[in-house]
């Protein structure tokens, strides 16, 4: 009997999902556990795996279509079989099985015929002409990652160079100038969600950005001292982001107005800090949340940031882990950017942008010294907060960073 493929429920709050891409065509043979489609919801992209061996009998929901959770999007059965409206399972049972199949995270080495491939890796392989069946995945359950494909591309290029092989490109049909110079692709999946939210953010809020510099020379010295003192604890590696997060949390506890959401004409001010940490991915940006961050020590915050960042880059975050933030920190320091204008993550009323640390000559008394300077950019919603209290909040963060011992208290 044909088995229904349902739109899975990836989180408690998920109500609908979008089919980003079908990895198999109608009539293709599939193996149990093989990725057959990519779906997305709330910035999460994940694969749907075949529940059994067979043939993809029918596709009911085409690429870029959005449907409710629990809706049948296709059928798998035996060759020549007709999809049956009846199923041995309830939609809830089937959704649970699909959700389990896309969310399992146990160590596993996939057999050759059961290819598990991240969407970004599949796209890169297709563009580079790489046969995925010849790649051993380094991800969970043998999943092929973008890094695996990039490695295969380098090996292929090296092989071509050593063999002194030449490739000849033959045009089989006329190509217009426009086709040569322009690549057109639809906005789908995570990029589509981000585009909609950023547009809505700028339309619905009165955003203003102010800038300030913090002298983090002493903070970096303290970071080095802690690193040396904790050499016997390799799991504890405090980064400057950890200190910035802790300073921001402490400042939000003092300036509670900044720890607010603006919804339906009402300002919701929170006593607890639910801190969002922006994480850049290959195809977009996600903001995992550290709930009740004011209750955590610097060490616990550091551990939480690292865990969430790893889960985000592996595509393992649930929608619940990206909801409920009251303030966000985002950084472009790793890319050499100094000041920039971060865009609010509504309904939050504030977001802190962090730039790269630079060496600058600074007067200390009458002497000029080389100091480590950190650029900070605060965007806030002027509907809720005025410039003076926003400046006071940013100055409090600066004070914590320039007097790092206060962060440890």
Residues 134 and 257 in one domain: no
What's the helix, strand, coil split of the chain in %, to 5?
35, 25, 40
Strand-strand pairing, 54-59 and 35-41: unpaired
Q: Would the pLDDT of 264 be above 60?
A: yes
386 is known as an active-site residue: yes
Based on the fold, state whether residues 72 and 119 are members of the same structural domain: yes
Kindly name the residue from 28, 268, 359, 382 that is annotated as catalytic.
382
Number of folded domains that form the chain? 2
pLDDT of residue 183 exceeding 90, the answer is no
271 is catalytic: no
- Whether the predicted pLDDT of 140 surpasses 70: no
- Tell me if the bond preceding 347 is cis, omega within 30° of 0: yes
The pLDDT of residue 222: 94
Q: Annotated catalytic residue: which of 113, 268, 359, 386?
A: 386
Do 377 and 228 have their domain in common? yes
Residue 316 has pLDDT above 90, yes or no: no
Of 54, 53, 50, the closest CA to residue 79 belongs to 54
Predicted TM-score (pTM) of this structure: 0.63
pLDDT band at 327 (very low <50, low <70, confident <90, very high): very high
Q: Average pLDDT, whole number, for the chain? A: 83
Asked whether 317 and 286 are in contact (CB, 8 A), the reply is yes
Which CATH number belongs to the domain containing residue 300 in this structure? 3.30.559.10
Position 303 confidence tier, pLDDT thresholds 50, 70, 90: very high
Q: Which residue is listed with tokens 């599939």? A: 30
Q: pLDDT tens across 38-96, in order?
A: 888 765 778 888 888 989 988 999 887 888 888 999 999 888 787 764 444 444 444 44
Please work out, in degrees rounded to the nearest 5, the angle formed at the alpha carbon of residue 322 by the alpha carbons of 321 and 324. Answer: 95
**What is the predicted pLDDT for the residue at 406?**
93
pLDDT at 117 over 80: no
Portion of the chain with pLDDT greater than 90, in percent = 42
What per-residue confidence (pLDDT) applies to 383? 94
Q: Residues 294, 365: one domain?
A: yes
Same domain, 109 and 246: no
Tell me if 103 is assigned to some domain.
Answer: yes
Domain extent at residue 150: 3-162
In this prediction, residues 350-379 reach a mean pLDDT of: 95
Q: Is pLDDT larger for residue 392 or for residue 165?
A: 392
């Amino acid at each position: 009997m044909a088995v229904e493929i349902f739109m899975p429920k990836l989180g408690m709050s998920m109500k609908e999902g979008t089919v980003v891409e079908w990895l198999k065509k109608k009539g293709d043979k599939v193996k149990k556990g093989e990725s057959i489609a990519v779906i997305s919801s709330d910035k999460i992209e994940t694969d749907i795996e075949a529940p059994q061996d067979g043939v993809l009998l029918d596709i009911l929901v085409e690429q870029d279509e959005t449907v409710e959770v629990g809706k049948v999007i296709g059928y798998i059965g035996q060759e020549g079989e007709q999809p049956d409206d009846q199923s041995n399972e309830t939609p809830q049972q089937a959704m649970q099985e699909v959700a389990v199949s896309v969310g399992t995270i146990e160590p596993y080495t996939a057999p050759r015929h059961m290819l598990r491939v991240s969407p970004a890796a599949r796209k890169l392989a297709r563009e580079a002409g790489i046969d995925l069946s010849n790649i051993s995945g380094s991800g969970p359950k043998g999943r092929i990652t973008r890094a695996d494909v990039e490695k295969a591309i380098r090996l292929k290029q090296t092989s071509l160079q050593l063999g002194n092989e030449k490739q000849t490109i033959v045009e089989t049909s006329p190509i217009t100038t426009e086709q040569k110079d322009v690549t057109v692709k639809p906005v789908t999946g995570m990029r589509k969600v981000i585009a909609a939210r950023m547009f809505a953010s700028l339309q619905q809020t009165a955003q203003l950005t102010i800038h300030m510099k913090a002298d983090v020379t002493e903070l970096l010295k303290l970071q080095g001292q802690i690193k040396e003192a904790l050499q016997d604890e390799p799991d504890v590696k405090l980064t400057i982001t950890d200190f910035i997060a802790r300073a921001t949390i402490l400042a939000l506890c003092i300036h509670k107005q900044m720890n607010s959401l603006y919804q339906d004409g009402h300002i919701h001010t929170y006593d607890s800090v639910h801190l969002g940490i922006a994480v850049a991915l290959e195809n977009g940006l996600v903001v995992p949340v550290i709930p009740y961050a004011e209750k955590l020590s610097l060490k616990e915050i550091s551990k939480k940031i690292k865990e969430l960042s790893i889960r985000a880059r592996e595509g393992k975050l649930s929608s619940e882990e990206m909801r409920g933030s009251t303030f966000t920190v985002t950084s472009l320091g790793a890319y050499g950017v100094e000041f920039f204008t971060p865009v609010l993550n509504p309904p939050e009323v504030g977001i802190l942008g962090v730039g790269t640390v630079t060496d600058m000559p600074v007067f200390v008394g009458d002497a000029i010294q080389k100091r480590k300077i950190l650029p900070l950019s605060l965007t806030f919603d002027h509907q809720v907060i005025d410039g003076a209290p926003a400046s006071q909040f940013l100055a409090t963060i600066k004070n914590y960073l320039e007097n790092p011992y206060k962060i440890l208290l």
